[in-house]
Chain A
C-alpha cells in the first residue's frame, strides 16, 4: 500500500465564500500576488510528487537498491521489491556470542540455499532474499534499538529473531509495535507468547513440553519396573522464565499422574551460582529418587561437579536441555556425565532421511562440522518465514503474518510438521527428543520411540558402583 502524503493547502483568502467574500481583504495587492504565486507553486509541487508516486507505482519493476516497502497497496506480487530484505540481530559478541554464532550459521545457510535457485517464488516472480544481520552484543536495549532501526530506517520486510529468551522477549515488542512479522527460534519461554501478540512466531516448543517429554520416558521406565512407584522427585530450577516453565511442566505431570510421583523438594537457584553445596545437601536430605534440574551450561558444569564430589547419585538425573555438550564432557569427564538425561528440540541423529538429511548434508558441506539444535532451529525459523512469504504471494506485512498464522510446512523438527497454533500464542508445539549420555561418549536418542537411535538405561548404573 502506497501511503501518499500531501501537505494541506491553506485556504486562500480569495476562495473564501459567504459573508467572508464580501468582507474586505486583509492583504495588500502585492501580498495577494505573492500568496497566489506561493499557492500555485505549492500546487505544482504536490502535483509533481503525486505524478512521481503514480509513476513509481505503475512501473513494471524496481531497481535492486529500492528499499523494500513496508507496505504497498493492491496486489502484493505486482509491487514486489527487486530484493526481499529480512532483518535480524544476533548476539555475535558478548555473553551469548558462541550461540549467536551458531544462529548466524543457521540463518546464512537458509539464505544461501534459498538463493541458489534465484530466491523466493512469490506469485509468478522469483525474488532474491537478503539477510540484513546486526550484532546486538547480548544486550536487551541494543537488540530493541537495532530492531527498530531495521524496521524504520532499513525498511526490512520481516524480522528473524535473536537468541535467548530475555533478548527475544524485549525485541519482539518492537516488532509487535511496528506490526512486522517476527519469526524466532531463540525464545522458548511461554511468557513471550502469553502477551497476546499477533506478530510474533516462535519455533522453539515450550520448556514445559521438555519436562513433559522427559517425564513420559520416566513413566515408561516406571511401568517397566525399572524405577520405584511412587517415585520421589527433587526439582531444582534456575530462577528464570525458562526454569519456571520446566518446574511447571513437571508439577503438572505429577499432578496428573494420580500418585505415581511425589515432589519432595522444589527449589530454585540464581543463574551463575558459585556454591551449590548447601542446595545439594538439601537434595541429599530429601531422599529423592529422581534429580531433575533445569540449568544453563555453566551452572550445569558447576553443580554436577559438586554433585559428583559429594558422592550423590539418583536413579534418574537430568539438567533439562543440558547434558551431551562437549564442553561439559571436557570439564567433568565421561564418568561424571554418563547416564545424564537431556531433552532438546532437535538432534543431528534425526538427519538420516528426508529434509533432515538434506539439511545435515548441506550444513556439513558448508561448515565442515555436525549441526547442533541451535543451527536447526535458526535454519528452520528462516525457512518458515520464506514459506510464509511464498504462501502469501506478497511481502505485505499483514499477508505474511496471516500466512505464518496458517502455516503448515514439512519440518526438520520432531513431529515432521511445523505450525504456529494461535491457542498457544503462535508458539510451535512438538515433542522433544530425549537423549541419554552413555559411558562410551555417545548420546543416543532414546525417546520418542519413532526417532530413537538407542535404548535408555534406568535406574542409573552409576549408583550401583557408588
Chain B
C-alpha cells in the first residue's frame, strides 16, 4: 500500500513537471503549426540562466522566475523576428521550420559547450533534499513546488486564452488567420506574441528542471521528446489537453515499473504515442476539449 501511495504521489508530481515542459511546445504548434525543435535548447538555456543567477548572484531559483521568463520571452521575440517569420507561410509547419529550428538548437547547444564546457551542473539550495510527510509518504518539497508552478501556469494560460482579448485573438488566429486579417487582428503580431510566450514557457521549464536535476549543454533532448509525446496525447493545440496528456504519460511511466523492467519505462511513452497516433490521431482528449 505504501508503495502504491508513493507511486501515486510520484505520478502526480511528475505530471506537473511534464505539463510545464510541454505547454510551450503545444502553444506554438497550436497557433503557428510549427514544431519548435529549438524548445529543447531554450529549456537548456533556461536551466543555465537560472544556474548563473544562482551561482553568481546567489539568487534563489524560484525568485529568478521574473528574470528568466522575460529573458526567454525576449529571446522568443528575437527568434521569431529574426528567423521564423521568414519561413514561407504555407510551409511553416514543414521541413523548413524543422531544419531551421533544429539548427538553432544545435547553435545554442554548442554555444553552451563553449561557455560552460560539458560539465554537469546542478543547483543546491537549503531545501533541495527536504521532504514533507503526507499520509506516510515523503513528498519532496522541490517537486511539490514545481507541481504547483505547473498548475499555476495552466491556470494563467487558460485564463489568458479564454478571458482576454489577446487570448481570444490567439485562438482566432489558430483557427483561421485569413479571417482574422479581415476583422482587423494583426496576425503577424499575434504570431510573434505566441512564439514568444511559448519560448518563455520553455525557459520556465528549464528553470524548474534546474532545481531538480543535474544538467549539461546536452540537456533538453529528453524533455523535447517527452513534450512531443504529451502534445500528441493531449491533442494538438489544447492547453487543458496538454495537462491531461502529461498526467497520462506520467502515470503510465511511473506505474509501468510494477510490470516492466525499469529501463523500459521511458519507452512506454513512445509506445503510447504510436497507439494514439494510430487509433486516436486527434489525441486522447483532443476532440472533446476542442469542442
Contacts and interface: CB of A to CB of B under 8 A. Distances in A.
B124 A277 contact: no
A252 interface: no
A327 B216 contact: no
Interface stretch (A1-9, A216-224, A330-338, A420-428): A330-338
A267 B214 contact: no
B129 to A, nearest CB: 4
B124 A332 contact: yes
B265 A306 contact: no
Interface in B208-249: 212-218, 222-223
Contact of B10 (A97, A268, A275, A336): A275
Nearest to A298: B214
A378 to B, nearest CB: 17
Nearest to B140: A309
Interface string B120-154: 11111000111100000010111000000000000
Contacts, number: 120
A244 to B, nearest CB: 11
Given A269-B263, A277-B14, A309 B131 contact: yes
A278 B10 contact: yes
Contact of B128 (A95, A270, A298, A305): A305
A98 B117 contact: yes
B261 interface: yes
A301 B138 CA distance: 19
Contact of A330 (B7, B118, B122, B138): B122
A330 to B, nearest CB: 7
A94 B120 contact: no
Interface in A77-95: 93-95
**Interface of chain A: mostly helix, strand, loop or mixed:** helix
A185 B10 CA distance: 40
Contacts of B128: 305, 309, 332-333
B257 A298 contact: no
The bracket for how many chain B residues form the interface is 35 or more
B207 interface: no
Contacts of B138: 309-311
A285 interface: yes
A176 B110 CA distance: 32
Nearest to A279: B262
A281 B265 CA distance: 14
A369 interface: no
B119 interface: yes
B263 A297 contact: no
Contacts of B129: 305, 308-309, 332-333, 336
A154 interface: no
Interface string A270-287: 101111011101101100
Contacts of B212: 274, 302, 305
26 contacts: A94-B113, A95-B218, A97-B117, A138-B118, A239-B263, A270-B263, A272-B222, A277-B6, A278-B262, A279-B262, A281-B6, A281-B7, A281-B10, A284-B2, A284-B3, A297-B120, A302-B213, A305-B212, A306-B140, A309-B131, A309-B142, A310-B131, A310-B138, A331-B120, A331-B214, A333-B124
Across chains A and B, which 9 residue pairs bring their CB atoms closest together, nearest first? A331-B122, A97-B118, A277-B10, A301-B214, A298-B214, A309-B140, A239-B263, A278-B257, A281-B6
